[in-house]
Structure 1
Amino acid sequence: MLEELEEQTLHPRAARAARSRGRERREPEDDERPSFQRDRDRLVHSKAFRRLAGKTQVFLAPRGDHYRTRLTHTLEVAQVARSIARALRLNEMLVEAMVMGHDLGHTPFGHAGERILNEVLPGGFHHVIQSVRVVDVLENDGHGLNLTAEVRDGILRHSKGKGNVLLKGSGAKALTLEAEIVRLADIIAYVNHDLDDALRAGLFTEADVPASIRAVLGGGPTPRYRTLIRDVIRRSDVDGGGHIEMSPDVHEALLALRDFLYARVYENPVVHDEFVKTQRILRDLYGWCLEDAARLRERHGVVGREGDPPERTATDWLSGMTDRFAIGVWEAIFVPRPWSVV
């Protein structure tokens, strides 16, 4: 059995399916697939996962075919996370399951969409919390995916924003080392592929990246990936009972690269001006939803928990939209159609 193989090959501190904290609802065991693999499979086959292909990563509806989406971002994070987990003899299947679910709660139009829903939803909106709601409640026609506690925890712990990259010293504690890997793999992937997309878009050149960053991480995507992944593998104190870590100089360079991207990409007026237009779309749709939340359930199949307030139902629907679907719904509701004259 695969669980026996885990016992034989994984590091003593690796999470094991046989020792999982379990699911909210008990299920029969599967002899062919350990619990973390079943979680991975459920996430990959979910509707929310498929919709990631239509959600913006950085650039809204780019004309080129090679810009990242939330789906390609997820796959790149999985590659980084599995590479680190394999080298440290931690659970590859668990990190992959965590990664497959980590961005399911993202809104259309990238972080601009998240900011709007955070403004209008009482109590605020965060894609991490929404990702857990997707897997707990919204998927599987309102029954949720009933994931293991370890995978859910990995989804919750991945987000950083402009905050601490390392869980060590952040005040947060993960259930597994695998969750710490996913947290780092996420930023390693996005700073590299967002930089690559920005270069492709002509926002700046490789020479504009500060020399202090290039001196530590290298110039070009392959050297940067190699430096970051190797550093995590070499500095993580798995044997000594520590955390997944980075060396101080590489960690500092990673944060500097993130700050550079915020200044030159995420908050760039060229990028920002297009997202301002999308804010009206979500505001208008949110107001329309509140006028009659019942029709969201009846006409659009929005599911949730019994007694959810209209604001929650509206946010569930809007956050699950792809960019194209949100624009299409807004046009259908708010843009007049010409009369056909015979």
Structure 2
Amino acid sequence: MNEFSPIEHLFRTFDETASILQQELSCTYLDALAETSENLFQQTILQDEISEVAKKRIQKQYDEAHLSRYSKEEIRQAYQLAILKGMQENVQPNHQMTPDSIGLFISYLLERFMKGEKGWSILDPALGTGNLLLTVLNRQPDAFASAAGVEIDDLLLKLAWCGANLIEQPVQLFNQDTLEPLFIDPVDAVVCDLPVGWYPNDIRAADYELRAQEGHSYAHYLFIEQSIKHTKPGGYLFFLIPNGLFEDGEADKLQQFFQKNVYIQGLIQLPESMFKAKQAAKSILILQKQGEGLAAPKEVFLANMPSMKNKQAVQSIMNKMNEWFKENK
């Protein structure tokens, strides 16, 4: 009897071939994962420097994998599991992945606010490994005409690029500091798990309205401003924010900036059980960029999401949201 699911089978292919390459190339697991993912996509072993024995072991795994048998979601989830394993072995503060449950909920919110329209463009200005953006694209394969992501970390961008190739999602990727000038046309929607902390480049920050008057500026404030700048009038922005975003010393400045540029549509606090610590808990902030003929909703949608395991409570929130859409959209 076959005891493994398709996702587990494919994860084992990623994991075992990455482990062989890690040893052969004397590199990190995540670097080796990117290498084996590119091999799978190209359907050939690209590393000439590895031994013949290793090549035969890896090729056997590839021959048995048959990527065409898997759905895009199965590939994404198996690849995500391998990335998570690599991150546990070599933890770095900027190597964090947006959990699937959050990505799926943001996908649901996008569907509701976009009303089933097609031909949209989307941007993730803090792409990371691409899991959030790829989750959204997989959930709505016909909704988006173009997608773009920006990431400063070379390894994270390579992992995102390999993931997009594996699931055949056309995404334009930019390897740069998001807060430098972006050569990206304004988009219809932004999704972003905001990087929280200080931005060290005070000279670059000086070009932003949300810069600090003294010392370093908040990176998350600047990411919000840059995202709004690169959104079309009437476009939507979905930010994963720290729960204390509107409670710090600069919050008045942020709220004034919002009043001039966006309409706050909703603020949904996620269950603390999703996060390792209460201090790390986050919410989803939904904004619409102001534009001609648009107005703020009669009321902002506010909710505290219960545990996803509590189906009755989750359904109650969904019903509340349906009523809000009837009244406000």
TM-score (norm 1): 0.27
Larger relative contact order (CA 8 Å, sep ≥ 6): 1
Q: Which has the higher helix share?
A: 1
